[in-house]
Structure 1
Amino acid sequence: MAPPKRDYYESLGVGKTATPDDIKQAYRQLAKQWHPDRNQGDPSAEEKFKEISEAYSVLIDVEKRRRYDRMGHAAFGGAADYERIDFRAVSEILEGLMGEVFGLSGAARRARQGTDIELELEISFEEAALGTEKPIQVPRLVTCGTCEGSGAAKGSKVERCHACNGVGEVKFQRGFFSASRPCSSCGGTGKRIETPCPTCKGKTVVASHEEMSVKVPPGVEDGAIRSVRGAGERGRHGGPPGDLHVRIRVRPHPLFKRDGADIKVTIPVSFPQVVLGTQVDIPTLEGRVKMKVPPGTQSGKVFRLRGKGIEVLGGAGKGDQLVHIVVEVPSNITKRQRKLIEELAAEFGEDVHPQQKSFLDKLKGLFE
């Protein structure tokens, strides 16, 4: 019988609130320690390397991580361990540490996927419940318009870097540990610029902002992430662009509390209202509605307004609104009011308080 799989967060030594950068850093350090090239002849190191690579591949992917947080290892059914490993994501971390571990040529290594962009979007409780569409400003790097991406000032020469022969990186060997790193002479560009562009300082890109519209579906919860494929930073050297991840933050509502698809609201009423019965105004997502409070309603009674809750994601109906009745007791009364209440209490006797009488009878029985 195979031993139970370790928790992915435990495998990488990070907490469940770890950011993508935390996860990348943890994997980078463990990969240095456990890569088979550094532990030749040690099968336990190979198994450890597979374990951390599998954990990294799941936790670095937004959708896979969400599924894992919700369902654990069961989220991937009977998939074999190697099927869970995104070798592209793993190689992007390892190629700078171990050179040709994955057998990539120098040109292939320079083609890099653009980094993901992560933003937060704050919306109101009503917008989260009913859905909305909001504009956001996405910071990104764009090609410098002054030099058109060459990095060179007008009239300046652009030559191949002689230190790396235009490859953009240099290789080195430490025992059996092969590695590569960006060329320090050209900064990994493979080019030498005589006079850098005054706008981008030779970096070929400048900071900019792009306005985008994000659709928030009805029923979205606080902390949910909306992802837009290919809307992240552009890739380098022909690589694909990254993705945009927008984390939704829902502002608390002064009256409503959310419970799944249901909405809870507490309504204070007076003693005369619950004794005699009344109608009260109830706030809902769709405006105010009148609700009947029958005579004799007890404090703590919960009424259900069908279909007045939040739409379930996927269009599977709507929840309800739960109205919690609380009888408000006045804290300051006049002498006349006190006298009238005392007369009313005497008039009531015990017959109008069956719950209290039942409680006192049970209490009496405990001590007899």
Structure 2
Amino acid sequence: MKEDFYEILGVSKSASAAEIKKAYRKKALQYHPDKNPGDTKAEEMFKKSAEAYEVLSDPNKKSKYDQFGHAAFEGGGFGGGGMNMDDIFSQFGDIFGSAFGGGGFSGFGGFGGGGQRRVKGSNLRIRVKLNLEEIANGVEKKVKVRRKIQAEGVTYKTCTTCNGRGQVTKVQNTILGRMQTAATCSACGGSGQILDGKPGDADAQGLKVSEETVSINIPAGVEEGMQLKVPNKGNDAPGNGVPGDLLVAIETHEHETLKREGDNLHYDLYISISDAILGTSKEIDAVGGKVRIKLEPGIQSGKILRLRGKGISSLNGYGSGDLLVHVNVWTPKELNKEQRDFFERMQGSENFEPKPEKSDKSFFEKVKDMFS
């Protein structure tokens, strides 16, 4: 079972953004690879701390984590999980400041200490529309993506500006003395390599556009606006870089009769007065097809029937929601003479007088139950 992100950083759920950042910096410096060479446990804690900070420092991801826990990042990921050293130092290197010679480390192919930085390619973004059944059960989508890949026959050589380090060092005289700073090499973009030879179909970075079919596993229970991450399916990076990611924004088709509320679904069922009095059975829409329900004689307008487990599968894996059927008795606006005569005779009948029982909840009680 995955550790709680708040426990990893040692902060409470009410911690401010500044407190979360401070806690992460403390953990990152404690478990930094340069301070713990060859210590695999320290390296693992270094990665866990970065993963926790990536989520908790982003208000949107933090909200999803607080609501769904680690399940919010499963089935393709919503921005967390599986971070490597290049991801950590490309995203959070500034947090380390000058504690490790410009924020990097030497033993893992990262930024500082004479090591070579592995540049990450740019991310790609697409939108995927899902219908209600796909949302309820989860689905695998295959999409065609046009992404930049390294062209065959491309060769690189060591950048002469930074001598393959990916960084250049500048020394400035200030009133406080000589200050040394490190910056990304502008000649190679930080990769430590520059183009040496390329085929005619490659661009200035040695990349070409290629169309690829990508499989995206979408978990059940996703919502409009969520974003999944497919690692390494963005654009390639020049040289020895790592590919960017494919970011998938979720959009949903509105169902004709079913309305979603969290993991529950709502259905408005309209019946006639005679059906309400005599009782009947009705076929209604549900995820995956039709279902038949029985209405007892004397059913009241406003009654809510709960079909357990007929809603949306929970994103956190805890079962499924329910299908709530709202019964509405339809009153005809026009009657023929025979119908009017019948109801006029019934106006004084005791059976037609309203006699609500204690079990018949008011509208406000039904609303309260629905949201509880």
1:199 Cα deviation from its structure 2 partner: 3.2
1:58 matched residue in structure 2: 55
1:281 matched residue in structure 2: 283
2:80 matched residue in structure 1: none
1:173 matched residue in structure 2: 171
1:18 matched residue in structure 2: none
Matching of residue 214 in structure 1 with residue 211 in structure 2: no
SS at match of 2:136: helix
1:300 Cα deviation from its structure 2 partner: 0.8
1:298 Cα deviation from its structure 2 partner: 0.3
Q: Which runs of 5+ in 2 are unaligned?
A: 1-10, 26-49, 73-82, 107-111, 361-372
SS at match of 1:300: coil
Matching of residue 124 in structure 1 with residue 131 in structure 2: yes
1:209 Cα deviation from its structure 2 partner: 2.7
1:90 Cα deviation from its structure 2 partner: 5.3
- Which segment drifts farther, 347-356 or 301-310? 347-356
* Aligned counterparts of 2:245 and 2:103: Cα–Cα separation in 1: 26
Q: Which runs of 5+ in 1 are unaligned?
A: 14-26, 32-52, 76-84, 152-158, 360-368
1:149 Cα deviation from its structure 2 partner: 2.3
CA 326–178 in structure 1, closer or farther in 2 if over 3 Å, else same: farther
- C-alpha contact (below 8 Å) 2:150/2:238 kept by paired residues: no
CA 247–107 in structure 1, closer or farther in 2 if over 3 Å, else same: farther
1:150 matched residue in structure 2: 155
Please show how residues 1-368 of structure 1 align to structure 2 within 5 Å.
10-11=17-18, 57-59=54-56, 65=62, 68-70=65-67, 89=87, 91-93=89-91, 100-104=102-106, 105=112, 108-145=115-152, 148-150=153-155, 162-165=160-163, 167-174=165-172, 175=174, 178-185=180-187, 198-234=200-236, 237-312=239-314, 317-330=319-332, 332-334=333-335, 336=337, 339-340=340-341, 343-349=344-350, 352-355=353-356
| Structure 2 counterpart of 1:150, one-letter code | T
- C-alpha contact (below 8 Å) 2:193/2:239 kept by paired residues: no
1:265 Cα deviation from its structure 2 partner: 0.9
1:36 matched residue in structure 2: none
Look at both structures and tell me which one has the larger radius of gyration over its CA atoms: 1
* Aligned counterparts of 2:196 and 2:137: Cα–Cα separation in 1: 57
CA 69–109 in structure 1, closer or farther in 2 if over 3 Å, else same: farther
* Aligned counterparts of 1:55 and 1:215: Cα–Cα separation in 2: 23
* Aligned counterparts of 2:268 and 2:54: Cα–Cα separation in 1: 45
SS at match of 1:299: coil
1:281 Cα deviation from its structure 2 partner: 1.7
- Which segment drifts farther, 197-206 or 312-321? 312-321
Q: RMSD between aligned alpha carbons?
A: 4.6
1:201 Cα deviation from its structure 2 partner: 3.5
* Aligned counterparts of 1:135 and 1:307: Cα–Cα separation in 2: 29
| Structure 2 counterpart of 1:171, one-letter code | T
- C-alpha contact (below 8 Å) 1:305/1:321 kept by paired residues: yes
- C-alpha contact (below 8 Å) 1:57/1:86 kept by paired residues: no
Q: TM (normalized to structure 1)?
A: 0.62
Q: TM (normalized to structure 2)?
A: 0.61
| Structure 2 counterpart of 1:149, one-letter code | V
* Aligned counterparts of 1:267 and 1:67: Cα–Cα separation in 2: 33
- C-alpha contact (below 8 Å) 2:304/2:327 kept by paired residues: yes
CA 221–349 in structure 1, closer or farther in 2 if over 3 Å, else same: same
**Percent of aligned pairs with the same amino acid:** 30
1:333 Cα deviation from its structure 2 partner: 1.4
* Aligned counterparts of 1:286 and 1:55: Cα–Cα separation in 2: 37
1:194 Cα deviation from its structure 2 partner: 8.6
* Aligned counterparts of 1:165 and 1:281: Cα–Cα separation in 2: 74
* Aligned counterparts of 2:308 and 2:12: Cα–Cα separation in 1: 44
1:198 Cα deviation from its structure 2 partner: 4.7
CA 192–142 in structure 1, closer or farther in 2 if over 3 Å, else same: closer
Deviation digits for residues 310-345 of structure 1, max 9, x if unmatched?
344576544432211011223x41563784365144
- C-alpha contact (below 8 Å) 1:217/1:313 kept by paired residues: yes
- C-alpha contact (below 8 Å) 2:191/2:240 kept by paired residues: no
